[in-house]
Structure 1
Amino acid sequence: MASPLLARKGRHRQRYDHENYRLVAGCIPYKLKEGTGNLFDRLEVLMISTPNRSDFVFPKGGWENDETIYEAACREVLEEAGVKGIINKRSLGEWVFRSKSSEMNCSPTGACKGQVFALEVTEVLDSWAEQSSHTRRWVPVMNAYSLCRYDWMREALDSFLSLLSGQKITIIADVTAAATNQDLTPPQDITSTDISSMCMIQLPTSTERAIALC
């Protein structure tokens, strides 16, 4: 794997599928806070900023032809967020991401297709390859929903919580702040006692896709 201080550049190794979608891989990095409490109270996820934007995303990027999809996901989280960890090889889902420039274009050209995985963070680096482009922020998992820029991110969080809890969960969250990209102050902390009123026993399968701007 490349040095954490040197990110891969260019797309000469980039993978594409038979529909000419650019293939990408990403992670939801997470940790459990020290102390007592249940999963939802202690769970935090790591999100990163992007240039010229005020909201947050999960690390993701191109899957190249000299690595597995899991290696690609780990490399991207290392380059963009400066963390290492243990990846869970069960995919949280597959989504199609469409750039703003191709928003009105039905052709897959300019679009990408990707999978997202959960990654338990074991090491946080003081410096990383794309530190000048991405700041990182640990967020209580239930607050992360309102910071997500796109629907696919909230769907990935649903799958992530289902994976860790062993239950099929869909969170109904207030995403007004994410939609307006204005006030990104996290809502009041949501504890496990609120879960029953916010969950539906329904989970998109990994084969379902969400179209999003990236």
Structure 2
Amino acid sequence: MFTRTQTAREGRDRQMYEQGARVIAGCVPVDKQGRRILLVASSKNEGEWVLPKGGWENDETQEEAATRETWEEAGVQGRIVSHLGEYKHKVNKRTGVPEDIYIFFEMEVESIAREWPEMKKRERQWFSFEDAKAIVSKKVMRKALEQCSLARG
């Protein structure tokens, strides 16, 4: 079970891998009433907005990892309502092996904290579904957005 803390997990010593690819779990945080998606500023690329996500660790389920990462990066909690799919990222053309495998879930946001573990590292911002889909640069994130409930009208 996910336990909310004020410190983010760090390091990759407990990371899960499948056939050499790092498994990354994340959420599409949704405000169904306002038809909005919550995005966070990338910690690696200034000016880039992304879905909250991070490494799945060996002491948690994929849903727990996605919930933990969404708390750490965006400071929100909610209910996982659906599995949005598994997406291979940066597939090596020679070997056909992906570097990363992303697993996304839809989360209906229930609470937004004023303080969260990565608040000094990241901004968070609500975007309309259409704007979120247009602004995320990673194809795997656009695919996850296309599977969420807001994509179906």
What TM-score results when the alignment is normalised by the length of structure 1?
0.64
RMSD (Å), alpha carbons: 2.3
Q: Among 115, 138, 150, which residue is 1:127 paired with?
A: 115
Match status 1:31 vs 2:39: no
Instruction: Report the counterpart of residue 114 of structure 1 in structure 2.
Output: 102
Quick check: which has more Rg, 1 or 2?
1
Instruction: Report the counterpart of residue 153 of structure 1 in structure 2.
Output: 141
Cα separation, 2, equivalents of 1:126 and 1:112: 31
Change beyond 3 A, Cα 1:70–1:97? same
Instruction: Report the counterpart of residue 209 of structure 1 in structure 2.
Output: none
Any stretches of 5+ residues in structure 2 without a counterpart? none
Cα separation, 1, equivalents of 2:138 and 2:16: 24
After TM superposition, the structure 1 = structure 2 runs for residues 1-214 of structure 1, keeping only pairs within 5 Å, are 1-17=2-18, 19-33=19-33, 42-51=34-43, 52-88=45-81, 90-98=82-90, 106=95, 108=97, 111-161=99-149, 165=152
Cα separation, 2, equivalents of 1:64 and 1:43: 31
Question: Which has the bigger relative contact order, CA under 8 A and spacing at least 6?
Answer: 2
Q: Is the 8 A contact 1:82 1:127 kept in 2?
A: yes
What TM-score results when the alignment is normalised by the length of structure 2?
0.87
Any stretches of 5+ residues in structure 1 without a counterpart? 34-41, 166-191, 193-214
Specify the SS of the correspondent of 2:30: strand
Specify the SS of the correspondent of 1:133: coil
Change beyond 3 A, Cα 1:128–1:93? same
Change beyond 3 A, Cα 1:104–1:119? same
Specify the SS of the correspondent of 1:157: helix
Q: Is the 8 A contact 1:25 1:63 kept in 2?
A: yes
Q: Is the 8 A contact 1:2 1:8 kept in 2?
A: no
Specify the SS of the correspondent of 1:144: helix
Q: Is the 8 A contact 1:27 1:59 kept in 2?
A: yes
Q: What are the Cα deviations for residues 51-71 of structure 1, in whole angstroms up to 9, with x where unaligned?
A: 342120001111111111100
Cα separation, 2, equivalents of 1:126 and 1:78: 12
Q: Is the 8 A contact 1:4 1:82 kept in 2?
A: no
Identity %: 34
**Cα deviation, residue 24, structure 1:** 1.2
